[in-house]
Structure formats: C-alpha cells, structure tokens
Chains A and B, each alone.
Chain A
Amino acid sequence: MSGMIELEEPKAAEHQMRDEIRQISDKVRRRRQLRSTMMVALCAIALCITAVPLFLLLYQLFNRGLPVVLHPGFYTQLPQTPNLITPNATGGISNAIIGTLVLSLYASIMAIPVGVLVGIYLAESDSKLAASLRVIAQTMAGAPSILMGLFAFSFIIRDLHIGFSALAGSFALAVLMLPVIIISSEIAVRGVPNTLREAGLALGAKPHKVSMKIVLPAALTGIVTGIILAISRAIGETAPVLLVIGGGYINSWKPLDPVAAMPLSIYENAKSEWPSLRTEVWGIALVLVVFVFVLSLSARIWASRKQQAR
C-alpha cells in the first residue's frame, strides 16, 4: 500500500460498517465456513442414505430374481401349489402374466378415450365444470388405490352382480388411470402454441378440425407419454385388484373370468409358508419391475427425443 497516493480517502467515520465487518475475527469467519462445509457434507450423506436402501433393493431383486426368470417354463407354465410330496414345485406364472396384460388392456380401453377427451375438454374450456373437474382429477390422482378396489367391488360385483372377474379388476384400474391420463392430456394440449391454433383458424378451418388435425397431433407426444405412465402405474398396483379379480388359476382372456395378476401373485407368494414359493416370488417381482421400468423409461426417452426434435 505504501507506494500509493491517497486521494480523497474518505474520513474514517464514514466507513464505520467497513471496519465493523473487517473486525469480525477470522475465528468467526472460520466457524461459519466450517458450519457450511459440515451442513453441505450432511446433505451429501443424506444422498448416500437415500441411495443405499434403493440400491440394496434393486441388487437383491436382481440377485434373487435372475435365477428364477432364466427358466423358460417360468413364463409358459401354470402355477403349481407345492405339497409335502413335491415341496419344490412352483410351476410358472403364465396366468399372472396373461392376467396382468388382460387387466391393463381392458383398463386402457376404458380409460384412454375418456381420459384424453376430458383432458382436451379441460384444456379448451374455461367453464366452471372444467375448473371443478380439474380439482377432482388432481385429487383422484393421489387417492389411495385400495379405494378403487372398494369402488369396483361395490359397483361391479355388488350392484351389477358381475362377479370376481377381469372386468371388475380392469374397471378399478381404469378409475386409477383416468385422472393420470386426464392431467397429462390437459398439459399436453395446453402446451400446443396458440399461434398454431390461430393459424389454423385463420386459414378458415373449422374449430373441431383445428382441434383434431392440428392440436391433437401436436400434443400427441405428451398424451402418449401420459398414457404409458398411467399404464405402468396400473400394472404394478396390487390393492385395487386384490379385492376384485378373484385370482384365477387358468390362462384366460375373457373379461368375465377371474384372473391372476403379477402383483397379486407377489403378495400371495410372499406370505406363503413354502420356501419354494418364497424363492419364486423374486422372479415375479423382477419381471414386474422390468415391465414397469421399460414402460416408464421408454415414455421418458420418447418424450425427450420428441422435445429435442422440435
């Protein structure tokens, strides 16, 4: 500092705060720094704590499930109940795989058209009906899935006397999927730039044509992503189907037959007293998780690809 020429250096009194801050000892400063480092480290530890059980879960799932899923018979055979003579018999899970496919197929048939249309309605209408349906959809989207089971039981089985069946299960799953599809469709349709709509109208296209020929194709990616995510959620649900599908032991595609489902088989086999079933259950879980992961990953990747293409 010595070589400097001091010009107009303000009076000391004017820089009281400067002195005050400079006075804060290195000790305080170091303590602040230490505290910061410590807390940030704690956050990093929290990240590790989150990761550990989840990695453990995935590891054990693959470790125990892989030997089971490598048998081709696992996919093609019907289950066998072990008994004292053949304690290791488990058979396969063909009925559960078919059951899960059947359930999600019928559920999709019920939920997708209604869900997408309601989504479009919510995006293009500002009526009171739309506002209240939006709140309802958002609330239903988080409703406990067991309630869908209670609903399907009361309505399909009790009131309509249809009986424990694929139809009842897929109805429960459809109610579960509906709000998810509605919300994602609405977001997708709203995401279509208004200029696109106006361009269509300016060219003299009729509003419904604009909606179908311009808006829907533009929103398709978002809508399909939402549908896939809804299906992947429905596939893994146990609680709603637990109450109503009846747990069939045959391969059947008929809507009125009782069916099995993979999540339900996991639930039942886990509680089983037979070690062979408790081993097999990891295989079912692995297949189910792979199903769900493939669905949600493909939805995600597809959505991001399309986004980049734009």
Chain B
Amino acid sequence: MSIVIPPPPDFTTHEEEAAEFNSAASSRTWYHYLLIFAALLFGAVSVGFVGTIVWNSAPEWAHHTGTLLGGNGWQSPLGPFGGLAMIVGTLETSVIALVIAVVIGLGTSISIVFLIPRRFRNVVATFVELLAAVPSVVYGLWGFLVLAPWMLKTVIPWLNSWPFAKELFGNVGQEDGQSLLLASIVLAVMILPTFVAISREVISVVPNDLIEASLSLGATRWQVIREVVLPTAKIGLFGATFLALARATGETVAVALVAGGVANVQFHLLYPGTSIAAWIATEFGEAQGNEVAALMALGVLLMLVNFGLSLISRWLVSRQRKVLAVV
C-alpha cells in the first residue's frame, strides 16, 4: 500500500495564481485601454488647442510678421494690425505689477511664516488662497469703479506735484482714470495672493534645523531670514516669481476694464494703454476676416510667453525640491 503524498497545497495555488495573473492581464485590457484612450484624448485636445490657434493665425504671420511684432496702431477692420502697443503694454503692466507684488509679497510671506502665531497661520493661509480664487473680473470691477475714480481725484493730482512728474507719468489723467499705472496696480493686487501662496509654501519648508543652527551661531532674526532662509528658498522663490509673471501676462478682463484700451505704444504710465490679452478680449467681438487672424496671432504670442514662463517656473520649483532633498 503506497502512500500517496498529496501535492503541497501551495503548489496548485501557485499555478492558479499564475493563470489568474495571465487572465488578469488580458481582462485588464479594457480598463487599460480606457485609460490610454482618455490620455490620448487629452493629448489630442492639447494639440488641437495649440494647433487651432496657430493655424488660424497663420495667414497673418505669413504676410505681416513685421507689423505684428513691430507695428504701432491697429486699424480695424482692414489693417494694418500692429502688435507693438500690446506687447509693450503687457511688458509694462506685468513687470511693474510683478515688482510691487514680489517686494510686498515676500515681506508678507516672511511675516506669515515667522511672525504670525502658529494657531492663526492656517487661517491666514486659507484667507490668502481664497483671495487667489476671487474671479479676476471682480478685481477688474473694483479697479474700474473704485480705484479709477480714486486715482483721478487723489493720486494723479498728488503725482503731478512731484518733480519730473510730467516726464515720467505724463501730465494728464484719462477722463475716467484708466491708465497703465492703474492696470499695474490692479494686476499687483491680483497676483499677490498667487505669489504669497507659493512663496509662503517655499519658505515654510526650509528645514527648521537650519534656522536653529543659525540662531545658535548668534544670528539675529533678520540674519536668519536674509542669509539662511531666503538663499535656501531662492530657487523656489524665483519659481513663484515666474508663475506670478505668467499669471500677470495672461490676465485679461481686469486689464481690459482698467487699462483704457488704447492701442498706442505708451511710456507715460498715466495714459491709457492695453495688453495682448485685454486687446483680444475687447476687439474679438467686432473682428472680421483678417482681424480675427491678427488677434489669433496675438494669442500665439501670449501662448509662447506664457508657456515659456511656466516651464521655467516648473523647472525652478523642481530644482528647489532637489536642493531641499540634499539637506
């Protein structure tokens, strides 16, 4: 009588498992394909997004590249369509806004991280993020109906009392107070929450180790911030700056409401001007034929600038992560 040794139970299980794994691989396909389909759909949408705008602007690029990039003045409906005023206006408003926002925003982030008691920090952070969520048209409305009259009544007379005011700002304000300066101020207020939200994050992840190390070397509070925290967070702060700049250049309706909408290259900040995005918004409704192509071409410019800025900012933020990973 021979004893039949049953195969070890896990033997069959292994085989079953392998079989199941194979069948899993095949039954997994529909789910797998669904995911790939969605991914490809998104890819197609983004290619379509860039492609359509570029394609529709092609006629204008083909014939009037020079005018688009260097021409002053926009003659609806037949052209020429010069883009210089919008390019210069975008640069002026967003750079001024950025300078204001970065200086004030940096101080704000430092205060939030180092001065405000921990209990309130979350409240303040939530508040800042809520403000970043306020729709831009509301900022525009506020700038247009509240700040513009105030500029007209108070700020402009005061600025005009400065020496060299004429050379710098021009000596008259627009009738309703719209100007490039006002647009810059409103932009600064708008991008402040964005900048603060990111820079606060970047500053608050600077390891406490380093702060304590510098304190125990006899550094003052400001030295800790200036010589340890800010250098450590530097790259991430540049990232936040570029992101804020990207947001400022793309801001549309707020600028459309407060900049004045005049397509003329303007260096006097108290005169009205416009920006690329704002100009597309205000002109598109009435545009016909070539003008649509010209506005699309401005859109391509805006896209290039914006994509460039956000790629740089992503790269910087990821480098910041690496710097902190070393610590």
Contact = CB atoms under 8 A, between A and B. Distances in A.
On whether the two chains bind one another, the answer is yes
Given A47-B115, A114-B38, A204-B17, A285 B52 contact: no
Bin chain B's interface residue count: 35 or more
B211 interface: no
A143 B41 contact: no
B138 to A, nearest CB: 5
Contacts of A243: 281, 284-285
Interface in A253-270: 263, 266-267, 270
A304 to B, nearest CB: 9
Contacts of B30: 208
Given A40-B222, A47-B107, A154-B56, A238 B252 contact: yes
A129 B136 contact: no
B133 A42 contact: no
Interface stretch (B63-71, B160-168, B241-249): B241-249
Given A146-B280, A270-B141, A151 B307 contact: no
- Most chain A CB within 10 A, of B35, B42, B299, is at B42
Interface stretch (B3-11, B142-150, B151-159): B142-150
B130 A297 contact: yes
Interface in A151-172: 151, 153-155, 158-159
A266 B137 contact: yes
Given A44-B115, A151-B53, A118 B38 contact: yes
Given A36-B223, A150-B299, A154-B53, A117 B141 contact: no
Interface of B: 17, 20, 24-25, 27-28, 30-32, 34-39, 41-43, 45-46, 48-49, 52-53, 55-56, 103-108, 110-112, 114-115, 126, 129-131, 133-142, 144-146, 189, 192-193, 196, 220-223, 225-226, 243, 246-247, 249-253, 256-257, 277, 280-281, 284-285, 295-296, 299, 302-303, 306-307, 310-311, 314
29 contacts: A32-B220, A36-B221, A40-B114, A44-B111, A44-B115, A46-B103, A46-B106, A49-B107, A136-B43, A139-B311, A140-B49, A143-B310, A146-B281, A147-B49, A147-B303, A148-B49, A154-B52, A175-B45, A178-B42, A207-B25, A208-B28, A267-B256, A267-B257, A271-B257, A282-B141, A285-B138, A289-B138, A293-B130, A300-B126
